[in-house]
Amino acid sequence: MQIYLPIAEIPVNVLTILAMGLTVGFLSGMFGIGGGFLMTPLLIFLGIPPAIAVGTQSTSVVASSVTGALAHFARRSIDFKMGGVLLAGGTAGSLSGIYLFKLLSAIGQVDLMISIIYVVFLTIIGGLMMVESVQAMRVARNGGAGGRARGRGHHSWIHGLPFKMRFRRSKLYISVIPPILVGYFVGTLSAIMGVGGGFIMIPAMIYLLRMPTSVVIGTSFFQIVFVTALTGVMHAYENQAVDIVLGFILVIGGAVGAQFGVRVGEKLQGEQVRALLAALLLIIGVRLGIDLISRPDDLYSIVVMSSGT
């Protein structure tokens, strides 16, 4: 069943897109991730122009992160103050990401930048997760007490920074500079990659800001809602890169898929799930990397500059 996408200006098979939405939604429910960094490359593989893949995906991340944030709001596992500080950085980051995106599309390098960033992040995160989960599996098999030493209260350079603020929910008294910088960095990536950025935000919150794990996911969802909402509006406003029809199909598939994913995820063991996700990330990263270095079939490509209404 073909449907013509009004902004991407190509016909796609609804069932293909729906199946992709379901699969990514399933995986994101199972692994507890946003899934943007899986969906955007898939859309690009399918032939959706990269800019529209990114713009549309940031809009549909709004839907899944609202669902996530509401669940955590009910469990009271959101640090709103920390979320607000991250959001301040995220807003600025998102705007600079949009600006960078526009600049690079004008000089024809935006596809390259998206690919490079994906290759770098997917292989690094996938590699680290793979190592970590394999180690955890080995520890579990040997029956050893594999408790990670979390240097809580350990003083680092972060504690020397000015503009300290008390975050009661996170039981922290730290400078606002690191969370603002983290927010900024993730906001920029979010605008360029069409992702929520949880896969960078969450490790940064745990290892860099040393927030308690109980509030990390909820707070991350909270700020992702607003950063991706801003990114989505800006992609539509500045780049005309949001395809509402494509986004609609993705959101439907994602919401349904996530429900099944959550149930399956509960039955699986943590390390195995993470090893699986790591393998998936590495496969996509390597595939994108090969595309970058292999000689294209046609060295020349064309782009229509002006588009009429």
CA distance 52 to 8: 7
- The number of residues that bind another protein (CB under 8 A) is 62
Residue 233 engages another protein in binding (rule: CB under 8 A): yes
Residues 286, 123: contact at Cβ < 8 Å? Answer: yes
CA–CA distances in Å: residue 60 to residues 46, 63, 161, 231, 253: 17, 5, 37, 11, 11
Q: Which residue has the tokens 């009910």?
A: 74
CA–CA distances in Å: residue 87 to residues 163, 193, 197, 202: 17, 18, 12, 14
Q: For the window 239-278, what string marks contact with another protein as x by the rule CB under 8 A?
A: -x-x-xx-xx--xx--x--xx-------------------
Residue 120 engages another protein in binding (rule: CB under 8 A): no
Phi and psi at residue 3, to the nearest 5°: -135, 140
Which residues in 9-68 contact another protein (CB under 8 A)?
9-11, 59-60, 62-67
Residue closer to another protein, measured from CB, 142 or 309: 309
Given 50, 194, 232, 265, the residue binding another protein (CB under 8 A): 232
Residue 85 engages another protein in binding (rule: CB under 8 A): no
Alpha carbon 235 to chain centroid, angstroms: 16
Residue 78 engages another protein in binding (rule: CB under 8 A): no
- Residue 262: Cβ-neighbour burial (10 angstroms; 0-12, 13-18, 19+): middle
Residue closer to another protein, measured from CB, 112 or 128: 112
Which residues in 206-225 contact another protein (CB under 8 A)?
225
Given 43, 202, 236, 281, the residue binding another protein (CB under 8 A): 236
Which 3 state secondary structure label does DSSP give 174?
strand
CA distance 88 to 183: 7
Region for 165 from its dihedrals, namely left if φ exceeds 0, alpha if ψ lies in -120 to 50, beta otherwise: beta
Stretches 109-117, 167-175, 180-188, 272-280: which one binds another protein (CB under 8 A)? 109-117
Residue closer to another protein, measured from CB, 38 or 275: 38
Residue 296 engages another protein in binding (rule: CB under 8 A): yes
How many other C-beta atoms lie within 10 A of the C-beta of residue 66? 16
Given 177, 208, 229, 279, the residue binding another protein (CB under 8 A): 229
Q: Which residues contact another protein (rule: CB under 8 A)? A: 2-4, 6-7, 9-11, 59-60, 62-67, 70-71, 74, 107-109, 111-112, 116, 225, 229, 232-238, 240, 242, 244-245, 247-248, 251-252, 255, 258-259, 292-296, 298-309
